[in-house]
Amino acid sequence: MRMPRLSGPPGVVLLVALAAASWWLANRGADEHVASAPAPSAAPGYTLGDATLEQTDARGRLELRVHAAQAEQDAVGGDVRLAQLRVDYFPEDARPWLMTADSGMLPPGGRVVELTGDVQLTGQTAAPTRPAVVRTERLELDLERSLAVTHEPVRIELAPHTVTARGLRADLKRDTLRLESVVNGHFAR
């Protein structure tokens, strides 16, 4: 078999050959590299609008209901970020509690709910009187111990009375509340 002969100045032919060889070497295995490298995940694991998430205890009893305007799971860490949420918490053998917030997070494991931004905590009661409302900017609900905890400033409103403090530890099962420091109160008739 006879090979075709390239014509032209020897320097140009050599340069074209070198360029083609360089291109071939640089791109050799590029498809394999792209296919084997994991793609970075900027997308969420899932995104839900107008979502209600429910959690039951080991016996199947409803323990927690979280409603959010939007719920988005981080595909890497597993955290679920929530927007405009309402949390109904039903501790065993105790009255139910309602929490609302601008945003929140459910870390993996389902044993903690973190609430942020205009957080309100209210104990639900069948009595016709208005229940006390706890207001703060951050609150963590620990489902294992039935505790709501914050180290932020808090305001407790029991109309027409108010109490302010910094830090709060509320045992939602025993229906007790402890203010941590800088407690101030206003009681009116």
Cβ–Cβ < 8 Å for 141, 123:
no
- Residue intervals in the chain for CATH 2.60.450.10: 46-186
Q: Tens digits of per-residue pLDDT, 137-187? A: 999 999 999 999 999 999 999 888 899 999 999 999 998 889 988 887 766
Tokens (6 digits) for 10: 């020897």
β-strand partners of 48 = 71
Q: What are phi and psi of 128, to 5 degrees?
A: -75, -10
Q: Taking a C-beta distance cutoff of 8 angstroms, is the pair 117, 103 a contact?
A: yes
Q: What is the pTM of this model?
A: 0.72
**pLDDT digit string (tens) for 73-129?**
988 888 999 999 999 999 988 889 999 999 999 998 878 999 999 999 998 877 667
**Tokens at 61, concatenated:** 């009893």
> Is pLDDT of 29 > 80?
no
Superfamily in which the 46-186 domain is placed by CATH: Lipopolysaccharide (LPS) transport protein A like domain (2.60.450.10)
21: left (phi over 0), alpha (psi -120 to 50) or beta: alpha
